[in-house]
């Protein structure tokens, strides 16, 4: 097999319109195969990087002890592996800011960053325990209420890094209970300086979630949830909110849960929980799709080769009569299959990469907060290539071997 | 005729086909000699073994008994690889069906047998294919696909293909079976020309027109070859 022979084969393949349907089917199978491998790998990385390392999966929601002065906070902190305890009211306020413009409403949500929590994506400075008036904002900052509807307009995203060192102001109202309902009372403003930016996906936060110090968030919470001095009226107080208990690692969540229950706290629930069932289902689905794709590739090649070899029986007969040995014919058809598979692979890869780019830029960007990202790994493509070439070659070899059992006369005289 | 080199010798060739209930002796103690530079016509009724004889001569079928020599070398019961090599070097086939690859142009079809012939340089193949097509009168048709050619032209491409590796033996099995009279005459003229150039051309045909071109006419009857008028 020399380059002229290969050129001749290439011409034969590209001019044969019967190959188009075969190539389309094989491209779809190839996309399914490499796509399932890629998705599976991305999913595993997502689980590893975004879920296993995400603080929210090691935060427990615990009902406080109303009969104790500190509501049981110190008791919770004394439990081994508990890193921090804070009120679940933090992070529930949507507040106006001076980021409002004609495209954005300026709504932001102040968040509390638990003690000892490292922000891996941090650019700039961390918030100190006694700091006030400082904030860490998302690097893709989108101060607008629409973030909760996964409706981010990319052109309105503010580059958080450009705001480091700059000030912004938030506006909120104290609340009071009047005529059996809450009403705004006094208008308050507070100025913050941006000291850093972070990737909100790291915490599964929205693009308008900003970290501020506990002192500042407490101040806002107290203003927005007024203290009720009238025992006849039952309204939710800050103290009514449960605690969020931060465990130092995912592995200790179960043991800490048991210990908290042993301390007679109630309603102990993880803030976010990994559904192992769903994860396993996704992983198994990827495996099943990959196996089905391989089976489909084998089936397609077998059927295609069967049809092709019947159609080209006369041609094979002529090759044999012209002096081609069985090995020559086998090599010729094997190379035809390999060349077709390579063409298929290249088309499949291009389409898959385009699909990934579309998914990444259109679909997953809308779900920015979940942190799912599609990355293309060269190893997946190499694995896909090897599987495609091997399965198609073996299937093809089998069909050629069966065909060459016919004698030359039958091949030449056969009619389609 | 005897002054020319003997290319093929058949001695007591026998071929029997076994069907469910009976045996058909197609060739019975067949003896023949074929020389270079001659065009031989093999005629006879349908089903009396003309094609079988061509297949045996072309090493794509085997005889049961007897001796078959090409240039004095016994070629009976060769292994597939050796038989393939012998076909590559010595034998060119022309069939009733043209069997051209529809997706290849005329010159590309002619190149196909050359692709495994190491004695023809890769760069020379196209040139040789064009030369062969010119010699069969298709110089203007080298870039045409089979469907763009008439039946006679397609058969001429097939003849050019049979000459690709410059064999000395050309075996034609009903080469004009699918052609009109004009094309038939053209093909027989072409085959005669090849014989005059020194090839040993053996043509199986139903058409009596071949008698006008053949140096010797054989009639295959009851499994034996008889020279006409002998």
Q: Which one of A1, A8, A322 would you mutate to disrupt binding with B, by most B Cβ within 10 Å of its Cβ?
A: A322
Q: In what order do the strands lie in the sheet with B65-70?
A: B23-35, B6-18, B65-70, B73-74
Confidence category of residue B179, pLDDT binned at 50, 70, 90: confident
Residue of B61, B78, B101 for testing the chain A interface, max A β-carbons within 10 Å:
B101
Q: In angstroms, rounded to a whole number, what is the distance separating the alpha carbons of residues A235 and B156?
A: 102
The answer to whether the CB atoms of A315 and B58 lie below 8 A apart is no
CA A334 to chain centre: 40
Q: How many CB atoms lie within 10 A of CB A374?
A: 19
Share of chain B above pLDDT 90, in %: 53
User: CB A321 to CB B117 under 8 A?
Assistant: no
**B97 in reach of chain A (CB within 8 A):** yes
**Average pLDDT of span A46-56:** 75
Question: Which pLDDT belongs to residue A371?
Answer: 58
What Cα–Cα distance (Å) separates residue B91 from each residue in A24, B106, B162, B201?
41, 20, 8, 10
Could you please report the per-residue DSSP string of A153-196? Answer: -GGG-EEGGGGTT-EEEEEEEEEEEETTEEEEEEEEEEEEEEEE
Chain A contact present for B178, CB below 8 A: no
Nearest CA in chain B to A12: B103
User: CA-based angle A224:A229:A235, to the nearest 5?
Assistant: 55
Predicted local confidence at residue A368, as pLDDT: 56
Going from N- to C-terminal start, the domains of chain A cover: 3-51+276-413, 98-226
Two structure tokens written together for A243: 């605690």
**Out of A8, A312, A318, whose CB is closest to B111?**
A8
B residues 181..200 contacting A (CB < 8 A): none
Q: How confident is the model at residue B134 (pLDDT cuts 50, 70, 90)?
A: very high
Could you tell me if B220 and B53 are in contact, meaning their C-beta atoms sit under 8 angstroms apart? yes
Among A41-45, A157-161, B119-123, name the most confident range. A157-161
Q: Please name every residue paired with B67 in a beta bridge, in sequence order, or none if there are none.
A: B11
Cβ-contact A401, A330 below 8 angstroms: yes
Cα dihedral A278, A282, A288, A293 in deg (nearest 10): 160
Strand pairing partners for A44?
Answer: none
For each of the domains in chain B, give its residue range(s) and CATH number, in order of start. 6-227 (3.40.50.300)
Total Cβ atoms within 10 A of residue A367? 12
Question: Which positions 278-337 of A are in contact with B (Cβ < 8 Å)?
Answer: 312, 314-315, 317-328
The whole-number pLDDT of residue A369 equals 54
Chain B: nearest CA to A309, how far in angstroms?
Answer: 13
Strands B39-43 and B200-204: parallel
* Per-residue model confidence as pLDDT tens digits over A361-388: 776 665 555 556 677 888 888 988 999 8
pLDDT number for residue A228: 66
Rounded to whole angstroms, the maximal C-alpha distance in chain B is 55
Contact B93 A11 (CB under 8 A): no
DSSP letter at A50 equals I
Instruction: Answer yes or no: is pLDDT of B147 > 90.
Output: yes
The per-residue pLDDT for range A260-310, each reduced to its tens digit, is 999 988 888 888 777 788 888 988 999 999 999 999 988 998 898 888 888
Q: B117 vs A12: CB contact, 8 Å cut-off?
A: no
Query: Higher pLDDT residue, B222 or B88?
Result: B88
- A141 forms beta bridges with A158
Judging contacts by C-beta atoms under 8 Å, the chain A residues touching residue B177 are: none
Query: Of residues B230 and A403, which shows the higher confidence score?
Result: A403
A184 CB burial (10 A radius; 0-12, 13-18, 19+): exposed
pLDDT in the model for residue A195:
96
CA distance A316 to A359: 46
Using DSSP's 3-state secondary structure scheme, residue A16 falls into coil
Chain A: give the shortest CA distance to residue B229, in Å: 32
pLDDT at B163 over 80: yes
Q: What is the pLDDT of residue B3?
A: 67
**Nearest chain A residue (CA) to B54:** A409
* Range name among A21-35, A362-376, B25-39 with the lowest pLDDT average: A362-376
Question: What pLDDT shows up at residue B1?
Answer: 47
Which chain B residues have a beta carbon less than 8 Å from that of A327?
81
Q: What are phi and psi of B18, to 5 degrees?
A: -105, 120
A36-40, A127-131, B17-21, B76-80: which range is least confident on average? B17-21
Do the Cβ atoms of A389 and A338 come closer than 8 Å?
Answer: yes
Residue A146, both tokens? 């629409």
| Percentage of chain A lying above the pLDDT 70 cut | 93
Does A249 have pLDDT greater than 80?
Answer: yes
Residue for token digits 């094979």? Answer: A316
Window 49-68 of B, Cβ < 8 Å to A:
55, 58, 60-61
């Amino acid at each position: 097999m020399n380059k002229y022979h290969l050129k001749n084969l290439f011409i034969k393949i590209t001019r044969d319109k019967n190959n188009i349907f075969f190539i389309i089917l094989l491209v779809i199978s190839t996309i399914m195969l490499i796509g399932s491998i890629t998705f599976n790998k991305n999913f595993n990385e997502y689980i590893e990087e975004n879920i296993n390392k995400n603080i929210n999966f090691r935060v427990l929601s615990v009902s406080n002890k109303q009969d104790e002065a500190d509501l049981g906070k110190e008791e919770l902190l004394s439990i081994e592996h508990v890193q921090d305890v804070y009120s679940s009211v933090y992070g529930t306020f949507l507040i106006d800011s001076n980021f409002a413009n004609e495209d954005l409403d300026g709504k932001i949500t102040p968040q509390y960053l638990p003690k000892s929590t490292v922000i891996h994506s941090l650019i700039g400075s961390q918030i100190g325990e006694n700091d006030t008036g400082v904030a860490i904002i998302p690097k893709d900052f989108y101060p607008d209420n629409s973030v909760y509807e996964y409706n981010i307009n990319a052109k309105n995203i503010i580059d958080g890094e450009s705001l480091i060192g700059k000030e912004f102001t938030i506006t909120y109202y104290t609340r009071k209970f009047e005529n059996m309902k809450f009403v705004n009372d006094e208008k308050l403003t507070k100025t913050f300086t941006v000291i850093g930016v972070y990737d909100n996906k790291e915490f599964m936060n929205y693009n308008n979630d900003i970290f501020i110090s506990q002192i500042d968030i407490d101040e806002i919470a107290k203003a927005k949830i007024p203290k009720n001095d009238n025992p006849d009226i039952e309204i939710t107080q800050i103290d009514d909110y449960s605690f969020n208990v931060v465990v130092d690692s995912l592995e200790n969540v179960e043991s800490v849960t048991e210990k908290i229950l042993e301390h007679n706290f109630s309603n102990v629930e993880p803030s976010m929980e990994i559904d192992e069932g769903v994860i396993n289902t996704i992983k198994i689905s990827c495996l099943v799709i990959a196996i089905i794709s391989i089976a489909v590739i084998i089936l397609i090649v077998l059927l295609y080769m069967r049809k092709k070899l019947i159609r080209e029986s006369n041609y094979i007969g002529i090759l044999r009569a012209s002096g081609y040995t069985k090995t020559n014919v086998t090599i010729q058809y094997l190379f035809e299959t390999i060349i077709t598979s390579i063409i298929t692979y290249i088309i499949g890869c291009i389409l898959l990469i385009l699909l990934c780019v579309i998914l990444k830029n259109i679909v997953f960007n809308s779900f920015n907060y979940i942190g799912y990202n599609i990355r293309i790994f060269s190893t997946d493509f190499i694995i896909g290539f090897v599987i495609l070439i091997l399965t198609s070659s073996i299937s093809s070899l089998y069909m050629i071997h069966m065909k060459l059992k016919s004698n030359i006369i039958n091949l030449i005289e056969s009619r389609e | 005729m005897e002054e020319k080199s003997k290319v093929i010798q058949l001695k007591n060739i026998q071929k029997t086909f076994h069907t469910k209930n009976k045996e058909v002796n197609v060739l019975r103690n067949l003896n023949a000699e074929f020389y270079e530079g001659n065009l031989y016509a093999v005629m006879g009724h349908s089903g009396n073994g003309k094609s079988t004889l061509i297949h045996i001569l072309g090493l794509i079928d085997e005889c049961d008994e007897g001796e078959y020599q090409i240039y004095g070398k016994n070629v009976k019961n060769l292994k597939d690889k050796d038989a393939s090599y012998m076909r590559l070097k010595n034998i060119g086939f022309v069939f009733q069906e043209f069997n051209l690859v529809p997706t290849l142009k005329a010159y590309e079809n002619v190149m196909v047998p050359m692709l495994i012939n190491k004695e023809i340089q890769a760069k020379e193949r196209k040139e040789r294919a064009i030369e062969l097509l010119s010699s069969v009168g298709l110089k203007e048709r080298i870039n045409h696909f089979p469907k763009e050619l008439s039946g006679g032209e397609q058969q001429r491409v097939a003849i050019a293909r049979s000459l690709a590796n410059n064999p000395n033996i050309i075996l034609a099995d009903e080469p004009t079976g699918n052609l009109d009279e004009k094309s038939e005459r053209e093909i027989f003229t072409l085959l005669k020309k090849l014989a005059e150039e020194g090839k040993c051309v053996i043509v199986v045909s139903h058409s009596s027109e071949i008698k006008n071109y053949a140096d010797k006419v054989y009639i295959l009857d009851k499994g034996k070859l008889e020279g006409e008028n002998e």
